[in-house]
């Protein structure tokens, strides 16, 4: 009798010893992870549990940090109505502890938003408000005079404005002011309403260039005037080249005219945005742009003021206003987060190794001065919003919420080109200072000032972590898994080489054909070793692995021995 000869089943051993970052797409690289928590790529190509974070200040809602920034190599943060710079604390009643703040550093000055207050770090007594507003009451008299206010001078090319409400403490010589009113009164000298630069001021009067034809008194029974030195209404605001820069798409400060403009303050003068004194390099600057839509972010990059809309970028080249030219580029810009607060717009913008990173509407972009490129393909179809970015070393930290409003903290290693997910931390602000990355932890109500590298009070207890693979057991070719292998297969054995800290443990779970994960082994820590794990024999099309644990662990390699079958 002839007995048929059976072909033996072929076993295949595949070893993964290079572990990458997360990848939520259908087809992923070998060694990539579908999801991770509390692991790091610092010991690449191995996978390691991240270090413990630290807490500097945990004040809940009553006493909590509302902004952090680096100032002269020291950590600066706002807590309540106090400004902390290094070990020094300064009370500043102009700052409200209830606001979500932003600090712009301009030389020795801190510009604090939304109050638009300023604070001189070199002279703590030099502090106040950027904006100054005055509403007249009583008659206003306009008299020809010289630049000092002398009405008896022979040459009178200036106007002296007299009113009992004018206070010398409200304005300074050299200020650019706007004079306007809200009535339909037309019997007003031509050179009064509009923008002017003050050449003299004292209690009861101020002087600007351009003289009326004759002395004129405007009766208080007709109307009152508003005299203002302030910042235009802007969508974004930042510092570049010793100027404050801003941009606006929408109604102007008087809610009358629709504008699509970029602004710059006078050189070295954050108080003045309306000084136009001929072709002077220190002048303020205003220019319109063509592309419509809200400005969504802005920053200084490569020494150039750089503005974004969702679908465009604007860069202002030149050294002074007469020379400025705006270069407009259609590209993926910064996502519109829906905020109307200019001090928190575009918070995903961050510079790492001279490359600008930010969250766009469709992904995450990197811009090196040419065109932005998408580096967020690994997030797959998931859409994220409310993004806040930070830089530390060669890493770009990005906290953002998914479609279910669940927050995630991702880290992009710019040297390796890999993303990893750390946890569900929601961050309001990052600040890199020295060898530490500080951040404001936020849960929607409470805030904490924390650190990435453990400065302050370290986290208590072991860190809980996990790393979950994509679908395995598919066809493996050129370092990628594809769906071309339609045969069933068996998993014979897993061998994991890893280092576990004393008191740590790792659980190994497996999921067949998208079923629930089931634990197949739990390993206690005792240094570096290889562990061969028996796997429940089950015929499947594909499977996934999940490693989870508590305490220190480092994964060096995973070997999978599978046996092929038929397509039945």
**394 prior amide bond cis, ω within 30:** no
Note whether 159 and 210 are within 8 A (CB): yes
- Sign of torsion, CA 314 315 317 323? positive
What are 133-166's pLDDT values in tens digits?
998 888 899 999 999 999 999 999 999 999 999 9
Residue 23 above 80 pLDDT? yes
Burial of 174 (0-12, 13-18, 19+ CB in 10 A): middle
Rg (CA), the chain: 32
Residue 365 above 90 pLDDT? yes
At residue 486, the pLDDT reads: 47
Note whether 403 and 382 are within 8 A (CB): yes
At residue 180, the pLDDT reads: 87
At residue 479, the pLDDT reads: 47
CA angle 334, 336, 338 (to 5 degrees): 155
Measuring CA to CA, which residue among 278, 170, 182 is closest to residue 224?
182
Domain 236-458: give its CATH architecture.
6 Propeller (2.120)
At residue 283, the pLDDT reads: 95
What are 285-306's pLDDT values in tens digits?
999 999 999 999 999 999 999 9
Q: How far apart are CA 498 and CA 491, in angstroms?
A: 20
Report the Cα 258 to chain-centroid distance in Å: 28
Strands (E), 176-296: 176-180, 194-202, 205-209, 216-218, 226-229, 236-240, 243-251, 258-264, 285-288
Go through the chain and tell me how many residues it has. Answer: 568
* Mean pLDDT of the region 177-199: 82
- Residue extent(s) of CATH 2.120.10 domains in the chain: 236-458
What are 493-512's pLDDT values in tens digits?
788 888 888 889 999 998 98
Residue 109 above 90 pLDDT? yes
Least confident segment among 89-98, 428-437, 550-559: 89-98
At residue 483, the pLDDT reads: 43
At residue 542, the pLDDT reads: 80
Q: How far apart are CA 158 and CA 279, in angstroms?
A: 20
Q: Give the pLDDT band of residue 476 (cuts 50, 70, 90).
A: very low
Q: How far apart are CA 201 and CA 208, in angstroms?
A: 9
Residue 169 above 80 pLDDT? yes
Q: How far apart are CA 384 and CA 419, in angstroms?
A: 15
Q: Which residues pair with 246 in a beta bridge?
A: 237, 263
Longest dimension (CA), the chain: 135
Residue 63 above 80 pLDDT? no
Measuring CA to CA, which residue among 513, 504, 494, 512 is closest to residue 548?
504
Q: How far apart are CA 239 and CA 18, in angstroms?
A: 43
At residue 47, the pLDDT reads: 95
Q: How far apart are CA 234 and CA 250, in angstroms?
A: 9
Percentage of the chain lying above the pLDDT 70 cut: 89
Residue 481 above 50 pLDDT? no
Q: How far apart are CA 559 and CA 214, in angstroms?
A: 95
Average pLDDT value for the chain: 89
Least confident segment among 157-171, 213-227, 545-559: 213-227
Q: DSSP states of 121-163 as a string?
A: SS-TT-EEES-EEEE--S-EEEEEE-TT--TT-S---EEEEE-
At residue 342, the pLDDT reads: 67
pTM: 0.91
Domain 11-51+464-564: give its CATH architecture.
Sandwich (2.60)
Residue written as token pair 């595949």: 14
Q: How far apart are CA 291 and CA 76, in angstroms?
A: 37
- Residue extent(s) of CATH 2.60.120.260 domains in the chain: 11-51+464-564
């Amino acid at each position: 009798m002839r007995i048929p000869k059976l072909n033996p089943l072929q076993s295949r051993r595949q070893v993964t010893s290079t572990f990458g970052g997360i990848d939520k797409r259908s087809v992923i690289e070998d060694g990539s992870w579908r999801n991770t928590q509390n692991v790091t790529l610092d010991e690449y190509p191995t996978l390691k549990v991240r270090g413990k974070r630290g807490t500097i200040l945990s004040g809940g809602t009553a006493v909590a940090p509302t902004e952090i920034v680096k100032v002269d190599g020291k950590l600066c943060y706002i807590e309540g109505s106090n400004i902390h710079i290094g070990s020094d604390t300064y009370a500043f009643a102009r700052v409200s502890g209830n606001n979500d703040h932003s600090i712009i550093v301009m030389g020795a000055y801190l510009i604090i938003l939304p109050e638009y207050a300023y604070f001189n770090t070199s002279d703590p007594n030099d502090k106040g408000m950027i904006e100054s507003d005055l509403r007249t009451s009583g008659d206003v008299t306009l008299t020809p005079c010289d630049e000092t206010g002398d009405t008896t001078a022979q040459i009178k090319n200036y106007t002296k404005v007299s009113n009992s409400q004018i206070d010398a403490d409200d304005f300074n010589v050299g200020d650019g002011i706007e004079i306007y009113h809200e009535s339909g009164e037309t019997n007003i000298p031509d050179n009064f309403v509009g923008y002017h630069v003050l050449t003299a001021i004292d209690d009861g009067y101020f002087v600007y260039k351009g003289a009326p034809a004759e002395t004129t008194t405007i009766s208080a029974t007709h109307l009152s005037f508003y005299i203002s030195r302030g910042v235009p209404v802007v969508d974004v605001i930042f510092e570049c080249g010793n100027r404050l820069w801003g941009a606006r798409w929408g109604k102007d400060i008087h809610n009358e005219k629709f504008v699509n403009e970029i602004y710059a303050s006078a050189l070295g003068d954050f108080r003045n945005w309306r000084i136009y004194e001929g072709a002077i390099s220190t002048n303020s600057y205003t220019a319109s742009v063509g592309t419509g839509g809200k400005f969504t972010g802005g920053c200084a990059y490569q020494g150039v003021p750089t503005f974004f809309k969702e679908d465009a970028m604007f860069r202002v080249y030149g050294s002074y206003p007469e020379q400025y030219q705006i270069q407009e580029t259609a590209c993926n810009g910064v996502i519109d987060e829906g905020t109307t607060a200019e001090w928190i717009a575009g918070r995903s913008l961050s510079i790492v190794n001279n490359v600008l990173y930010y969250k766009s509407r469709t992904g995450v972009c990197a811009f090196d001065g040419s065109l932005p490129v998408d580096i967020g393909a690994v997030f797959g179809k998931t859409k994220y919003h409310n993004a806040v970015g930070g830089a530390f070393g060669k890493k770009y930290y990005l906290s953002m919420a998914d479609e279910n409003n669940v927050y995630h903290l991702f880290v992009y290693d710019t040297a390796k080109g890999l993303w990893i997910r750390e946890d569900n931390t929601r961050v309001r602000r990052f600040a890199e200072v020295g060898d530490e990355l500080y951040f404001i932890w936020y849960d929607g109500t409470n805030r904490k000032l924390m650190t990435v590298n453990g400065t302050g009070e370290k986290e208590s207890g072991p860190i809980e972590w996990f790393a979950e693979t994509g679908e395995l057991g598919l066809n493996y070719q050129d370092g990628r898994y594809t769906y071309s292998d339609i045969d069933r297969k068996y998993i014979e054995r897993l061998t994991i080489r890893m280092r576990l800290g004393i008191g740590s443990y790792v659980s190994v779970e497996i999921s067949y054909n998208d079923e629930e994960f089931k634990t197949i082994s739990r390993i206690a820590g005792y240094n570096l070793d290889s562990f061969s794990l028996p796997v429940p024999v089950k015929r499947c099309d594909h499977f996934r692995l999940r490693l989870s644990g508590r305490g220190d662990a480092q994964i060096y390699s995973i070997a999978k021995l599978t046996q092929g079958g038929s397509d039945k």
